[in-house]
């Protein structure tokens, strides 16, 4: 009898097209689920008959309460090598092996710049107007050359965003709680004296920090008030780093020029969520990691993880 594998949240029906799954066909039946399941009871019922689950990034939490209801589950594969919504310890207690995949930092870098450029040049407003027969030219674009880009975080993604900013002729500065002048010099950017200084002096602020106890709520109403009224904020990292109510208030009151957001407090975003209708907001549905090359890596590595598990030699284990 073949094992059963559920592939979750394949919104674009891309999983089976992104990798060669044929090496598994004799031993594993693969079932793709395109709709996101929020309710834990429903998810437990859907997954009850599966031995293997492939989940994409952190779309679906796997707390102990869910894992305890899946006695047949033996392998959980999540894309990426870091996942904050899987209780790995509970999985191990229940005899579930948890594995990950490689993940590229290139797609979120590119999306960061798509959002920043879209905001700066009013692309959505102008495109909508052009296609609907509206006014010819409504906005005056914000220049990048000579302006200051402030980066919260200068890790793998932040440093690559910095390089693009420098190529545009921007002045780039960065800050994080552990950032040193040596690291800033290595990337070729200025070290901001403080978070407050960075926010006050930047024309564009982009967030590239991991979510943790020290970064949750890092930008609240007080911090957002430091931004210039002509400044733009971009967040392709994690929604909880920014106080969402404070951001909505700043956008509605016109206290910042705009925001580009790819991450939300609830995903997928409910139909009536205020982020869907906020002014001065360019928003995308968490596309930072969604690219052809990244999906090819995710799903080809998922196949490899399953193959290795089947022969008793799991690879890329998490935890």
pLDDT of residue 1: 85
Question: How far apart, in Å, are the Cα atoms of 174 and each of 4, 120, 234?
Answer: 47, 20, 14
Over the stretch 71-91, which tens digit does the pLDDT of each residue have? 999 999 999 999 999 999 999
Q: Are 77 and 302 in contact (CB under 8 A)?
A: yes
Q: Which of 267, 273, 280, 316 is catalytic?
A: 267
Q: For residue 267, indicate whether it is catalytic.
A: yes
Q: Which of 147, 148, 286, 301 is catalytic?
A: 286
pLDDT of residue 101: 98
DSSP label at 136?
Answer: S
Q: Which of 33, 147, 148, 238 is catalytic?
A: 238
pTM: 0.94
> Which tokens sit at 283?
């928003």
Q: For residue 82, indicate whether it is catalytic.
A: no
> What is the rounded distance in angstroms from the CA atom of residue 151 to the CA atom of residue 233?
10
The tens-digit pLDDT sequence of the chain (319 residues) is 899 999 999 999 999 999 999 999 999 999 999 999 999 999 999 999 999 999 999 999 999 999 999 999 999 999 999 999 999 999 999 999 999 999 999 999 999 999 999 999 999 999 999 999 999 999 999 999 999 999 999 999 999 999 999 999 999 999 999 999 999 999 999 999 999 999 999 999 999 999 999 999 999 999 999 999 999 999 999 999 999 999 999 999 999 999 999 999 999 999 999 999 999 999 999 999 999 999 999 999 999 999 999 999 999 999 8
Task: Evaluate the omega torsion of the peptide bond into residue 317 and state whether it is cis, within 30 degrees of 0.
Answer: no
**Strands (DSSP E) along 33-120, which ranges?**
52-55, 75-78, 97-99
Q: For residue 238, indicate whether it is catalytic.
A: yes
Task: Evaluate the omega torsion of the peptide bond into residue 268 and state whether it is cis, within 30 degrees of 0.
Answer: yes
């Amino acid at each position: 009898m073949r094992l059963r594998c559920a592939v979750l949240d394949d919104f674009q029906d891309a999983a089976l097209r992104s990798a060669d799954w044929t090496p598994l066909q004799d031993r594993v039946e693969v079932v793709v689920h395109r709709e996101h399941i929020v309710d834990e009871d429903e998810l437990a019922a859907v997954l009850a008959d599966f031995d293997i689950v492939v989940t994409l990034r952190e779309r679906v939490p796997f707390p102990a309460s869910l894992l305890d209801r899946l006695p047949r589950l033996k392998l959980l594969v999540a894309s990426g090598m870091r996942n904050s919504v899987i209780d790995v310890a509970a999985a191990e207690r229940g005899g579930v092996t948890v594995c990950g995949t490689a993940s590229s930092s290139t797609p979120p870098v590119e999306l960061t710049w798509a959002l920043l450029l879209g905001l700066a040049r009013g692309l959505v407003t102008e495109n909508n107007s052009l296609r609907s027969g509206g006014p010819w030219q409504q906005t005056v674009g914000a220049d990048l050359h000579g302006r200051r880009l402030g980066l919260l975080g200068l890790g793998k993604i932040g440093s690559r965003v910095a390089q693009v900013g420098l190529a545009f002729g921007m002045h780039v500065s960065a800050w994080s709680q552990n950032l040193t002048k040596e690291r800033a010099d290595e990337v070729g950017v200025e070290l901001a004296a403080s978070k407050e200084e960075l926010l006050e002096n930047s024309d564009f602020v982009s967030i590239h920090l991991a979510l943790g106890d020290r970064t949750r709520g890092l930008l609240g109403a007080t911090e957002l008030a430091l931004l210039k009224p002509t400044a733009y904020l971009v967040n392709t990292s994690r929604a909880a780093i920014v106080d969402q109510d404070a951001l909505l208030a700043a956008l509605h009151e016109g206290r910042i020029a705009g925001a580009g957001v790819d991450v939300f407090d609830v995903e997928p975003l409910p139909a009536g969520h205020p982020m869907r209708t906020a002014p001065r907001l360019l928003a995308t549905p968490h596309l930072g990691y969604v690219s052809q090359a990244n999906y090819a890596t995710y799903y080809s590595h998922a196949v490899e993880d399953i193959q290795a598990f089947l022969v008793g030699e799991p690879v890329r284990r998490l935890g």
